[in-house]
Amino acid sequence: MRGALVGTALALACSPAPAQEMAGPELAPYVVTGDAIIEPLAGQRGDAALGRALIGERHRSLCILCHAVPEGAAPLQGTLAPSLAGIGSRLDEGQIRLRIVDMKRLNPESLMPTYHAPPDGARIAPAWQGKPVLGAAEIEHLVAYLVTLKE
């Protein structure tokens, strides 16, 4: 519970508009083309350095619980998912964006959580109800970082 609250607080600290403070990260609308979301969420590109830091925050982005990343301060990396090393050579920006936003659109059985949709899971803890796992700006930071991971 404490982790959950801290995570929310950090997400709020990052969100650009103070008006969003009560609502938590807003959901940005998006258009899926093939297996990609071509346009940046909320029309705003991210910052790769912030994305690199965020991916290592296992209680907020959660990525390294499941994935290995090729660098950074993340010694304890998960093996539940493919390594993200070289992901920028395998997938383009829009493909990476859709996979973070909603992997289940490509594989309904996936373990990977849907990061940016109204959550509809059973028994969602009160602190998380009605909130996506990550906001649009955070996802764009991650995308900006992952496209730089070339093999």
Q: Which of 131, 140, 144, 147 binds other proteins (CB under 8 A)?
A: 131
Judged by beta carbon, residue 36 or residue 66, the one nearer other proteins is 66
Judged by beta carbon, residue 17 or residue 123, the one nearer other proteins is 123
Judged by beta carbon, residue 3 or residue 82, the one nearer ligand HEC is 82
Q: Which of 68, 74, 81, 85 binds ligand HEC (CB under 6 A)?
A: 81
146 touches 138 (CB < 8 A)? no
- Cα–Cα distance measured from residue 136 to residue 42, given in angstroms and rounded to the nearest whole number: 7
- Cα–Cα distance measured from residue 97 to residue 4, given in angstroms and rounded to the nearest whole number: 24
Asked if 136 touches ligand HEC (CB under 6 A), the answer is: no
Q: Rounded to the nearest 5 degrees, what angle is found at the Cα of 5, between the Cα atoms of 41 and 57?
A: 60
- Cα–Cα distance measured from residue 134 to residue 116, given in angstroms and rounded to the nearest whole number: 6
Asked if 20 touches ligand HEC (CB under 6 A), the answer is: no
Asked if 77 touches ligand HEC (CB under 6 A), the answer is: no
Name the token pair of 67. 């994935």
DSSP letter, residue 94: H
Q: Which does 87 bind (CB under 5 to 8 A by kind): ligand HEC, other proteins, none?
A: ligand HEC
